[in-house]
A and B are shown apart, each in its own frame.
Chain A
Amino acid sequence: MSMLQILDSSGNNHPELEPNIPERKLVKMFEYMILVRLLDEKGMRLQRQGRISFSIPSTGQEATQIGAVAALNSEDWIFPAYREPGMAFYRGFPLVDLVNHWFINEKDPQKGRRLPGLFGSKKYRYVNPSAPIGTQIIQAAGAGFAYKYLKEKIVNIVFFGDGATSSSDFHSGLNFGAVFKTPTIFFCQNNHWAISVPLSKQTGAASLADKAKGYGLPGIQIDGNDILAVYHAVFEAAKRARAGEGPTFIEAVTYRAGPHTSSDDPTRYRPKKDLEKWLKLDPIKRFEKYLISKKFLKNGQTNKIRSSFDIEINTLIAKAEEYRPPALETLFSDVYSDLPWHLKEQLDEIASLQRRSI
């Protein structure tokens, strides 16, 4: 299978496929790539300092998330795994909500119930992610059925890793998607690792994109560090889906340049040479070269973008640390639409214990 690439690793452009994206939008895409990387650094540092409990970087995978969200309409739904937070930011998800979520405080929209990094937003059509791998893939197919049934011109995209292609929900997702012809884009971020397990232990297939054929779907492989290739592929898949032609499977070949999460030490399993090779293919540097060559970006502008985000985030962090934990009631709310007697009783019990000195 040949891999779609528009910007090669030195930032050179293959103009016959270059998508028609206005300058303002290209610069916005670049800014959000910078933001994602900056938030990764901040999240990891806060975790190392013991100020937040966990962090899930997506360093090296900025082009997939931002290229994809830029190619969709704002009504289209996103079913994330957990390594594409930039899609929510790009749509306007407030950084204040992110930072309060990191600190699982009383202002956290998810009421302090999730590990930092696992957030969703109904407003920005970014579904609350799971942790069990692969579960969102079949759910996205079901959601796709809903848009079709309701005659809405909406499509959805579901993200998952190379490891997730071994899950039963990957199989069901592609299978149901194909059978019901749902307007769903199955987007695999093949970052070569599932924690410490390499791709060669996930599949005997020559490429993940090849798998699509067995389900009766078009499958394409793209350079996932090339934001223009991502944009192009997602744009075309969304067009197909919107026209009622059903789902597409996209395998984006990329690389997880950081650890799996803040709990992981990749030096235990990852050959150093491997990482060095991939760092040369960095998606941000590549896009920066392209933008500079187009004169959409000036030398030194990257640092300015970075530092203005930096100031904003630091202010939010300082505030987030001051807030209290969520109220005790939130331990019991949202289990059900109402509060059944047994949960009321358990809330009363814990509340009365709080009043007891010892």
Chain B
Amino acid sequence: MMPELTLVESVRLALEEELDRNDKLIVLGEDVGPNGGVFRATQGLLEKYGPQRVLDTPLSENGIIGFAIGMALMGLKPVAEIQFVDFIYPGFDQLISEAAKFRYRSGGMFTSPLVIRSPYGGGVRGAHYHSQSPEAYFTHTPGLKVVIPSSPYETKGLLTSAMREQDPILFLEPKRLYRAFKEEVPSGDYTIPLGKARIAREGEDVTILAYGAMLHVALEAAELASKNQKIECEVIDLRTLVPLDIIAIENSVKKTGRMISITESPKTSGFSAELSAIVAERWIEYMEGPIMRVTGYDTPFPLSLEQEYLPSAKRTLDTIEKVYNF
């Protein structure tokens, strides 16, 4: 029987199995040692693999990422945890100007294929320093790949792939889903390739593009639309934002002729704007309604009113109707 795991347990299992398989793999970050990570994503790893492979680092995000880059340059496989993605900004320069550029700037001579994992997103009453979704800063950076899983099963397969990639990866974990539900997660070697989306629900009428925690909002809205209005939505879990699965999007929007995307980041210049632009540029002649976005608002992440801020099934349903009834 397959074990049922939460998303965060699935992260832990992926790390443990890959630590076992790859002796060049090093886990590092703040509180990842005896404490097992503030979300317990690295629980038990120090005990099993020792302080040379599971490093509690000084409290310094530019330090963690820069140190990991140095390891990666020399052939190790660092998997660094940034405790909350809201705190990644001191390390932004290292990620953007260094990790993402090494291969290009050196004509392919030097590479720094590290993995940065970090919890992101709202819905946990964390206010603006424990809730952000800054993926668009990183998808805007050539040289980085950005991966965001939506379930425990997906997490293990995608993280395992990420840890075998030759390019630097930002792996954003929806912390709101860390313990939201359990799912069967096989132990042993399985991977989900980067750059391949998944149809999470089939439908003929409206395509909904989503990833991470917002996938579940999309699915909930799709159920409501089906039950209440007999509108059948096709929900696509993008899984990786860079590289994006353009074929999956094409097949779906050509079929449905309608597209909305859901992201919990602010609206302006968010990843949903990119998705809208891609569909508009390529398949506008297939579209039977406006291409629309359901997003967070253009404010810092709130606290008391976070449920109003975050895309909900209700808001999504409203948008589905607008697009469908256009």
A172: contacting residue among B62, B111, B142, CB under 8 A:
B62
Residues of B within 8 A of A118 (CB): 105
Instruction: Judge whether B26 is part of the interface by a CB distance below 8 angstroms.
Output: yes
Q: Digit string of A143-176 for contact with B (CB within 8 Å is 1, else 0)?
A: 1111101100000000000000000110111011
CA distance A168 to B57 in the complex (A): 16
- Are B66 and A334 within 8 A (Cβ)? no
Q: A130-B98, A142-B69 are in contact. Are A113 and B74 (CB under 8 A)?
A: no
Q: Digit string of B95-111 for contact with A (CB within 8 Å is 1, else 0)?
A: 00110001111111111
A145: contacting residue among B71, B103, B108, B142, CB under 8 A:
B71
Instruction: Judge whether B75 is part of the interface by a CB distance below 8 angstroms.
Output: yes
Instruction: Judge whether A336 is part of the interface by a CB distance below 8 angstroms.
Output: yes
Closest residue of B by beta carbon distance from A122? B109
- Are B66 and A173 within 8 A (Cβ)? yes
Residues of B within 8 A of A130 (CB): 97-98, 105
Instruction: Judge whether B73 is part of the interface by a CB distance below 8 angstroms.
Output: yes
B97: contacting residue among A132, A144, A171, A173, CB under 8 A:
A132
- Are A146 and B75 within 8 A (Cβ)? yes
Instruction: Judge whether A111 is part of the interface by a CB distance below 8 angstroms.
Output: yes
Q: A128-B110, A335-B142 are in contact. Are A172 and B105 (CB under 8 A)?
A: no
- Are A110 and B105 within 8 A (Cβ)? yes
Instruction: Judge whether B131 is part of the interface by a CB distance below 8 angstroms.
Output: no
Interface locus among A46-54, A133-141, A300-308? A133-141
Closest residue of A by beta carbon distance from B114? A142
Q: Looking at the assembled complex, report how far the CB atom of B65 sits from the nearest CB atom of chain A, in whole angstroms.
A: 8
CA distance A333 to B71 in the complex (A): 24
Q: Looking at the assembled complex, report how far the CB atom of A244 sits from the nearest CB atom of chain B, in whole angstroms.
A: 14
Instruction: Judge whether B90 is part of the interface by a CB distance below 8 angstroms.
Output: yes
How many residues of A sit at the interface, in one of the four size bands? 35 or more
- Are A122 and B110 within 8 A (Cβ)? yes
Residues of B within 8 A of A113 (CB): 104-105, 107
Instruction: Judge whether A192 is part of the interface by a CB distance below 8 angstroms.
Output: no
Q: A113-B107, A128-B102, A139-B70 are in contact. Are A175 and B58 (CB under 8 A)?
A: yes
- List residues 108-144 of chain B with CB under 8 A from any CB of chain A: 108-111, 113, 142-143
- Are A334 and B107 within 8 A (Cβ)? yes
Q: A139-B98, A342-B244 are in contact. Are A336 and B145 (CB under 8 A)?
A: yes
- Are A121 and B62 within 8 A (Cβ)? no
What is the count of residue pairs linking A and B with beta-carbon distances less than 8 angstroms? 148
Q: Looking at the assembled complex, report how far the CB atom of B91 sits from the nearest CB atom of chain A, in whole angstroms.
A: 9
Q: Digit string of A268-280 for contact with B (CB within 8 Å is 1, else 0)?
A: 0000000000000
Q: Digit string of A314-358 for contact with B (CB within 8 Å is 1, else 0)?
A: 000000000000000000011111001110000000000000000
Q: Looking at the assembled complex, report how far the CB atom of B50 sits from the nearest CB atom of chain A, in whole angstroms.
A: 11
Q: A146-B76, A334-B104, A336-B145 are in contact. Are A169 and B66 (CB under 8 A)?
A: yes
CA distance A173 to B73 in the complex (A): 16
CA distance A111 to B108 in the complex (A): 9
- List residues 17-61 of chain B with CB under 8 A from any CB of chain A: 26, 52, 55, 57-58, 60
Instruction: Judge whether A108 is part of the interface by a CB distance below 8 angstroms.
Output: yes
- Are A143 and B63 within 8 A (Cβ)? no
Closest residue of A by beta carbon distance from B76? A146
- Are A135 and B98 within 8 A (Cβ)? yes
Instruction: Judge whether B186 is part of the interface by a CB distance below 8 angstroms.
Output: no
The 6 tightest CB contacts between A and B, nearest first, are A142-B70, A138-B66, A172-B63, A146-B74, A337-B166, A142-B67
Mind listing 17 A-B residue pairs with CB under 8 Å?
A113-B107, A128-B110, A135-B98, A139-B69, A142-B73, A144-B70, A147-B74, A149-B52, A150-B74, A172-B62, A172-B66, A176-B58, A176-B60, A335-B142, A337-B167, A340-B242, A342-B243
6 more CB-based (< 8 A) A-B contacts, given A128-B110, A138-B94: A110-B107, A110-B109, A150-B76, A169-B66, A173-B66, A341-B246
A residues sitting closer than 8 Å to B (CB atoms) are: 77, 108-111, 113-114, 118, 120-122, 127-128, 130, 132, 135, 137-147, 149-150, 168-169, 171-173, 175-176, 179-180, 333-337, 340-342
B residues sitting closer than 8 Å to A (CB atoms) are: 26, 52, 55, 57-58, 60, 62-63, 66-76, 78, 90, 93-94, 97-98, 102-111, 113, 142-143, 145, 165-167, 195, 242-244, 246
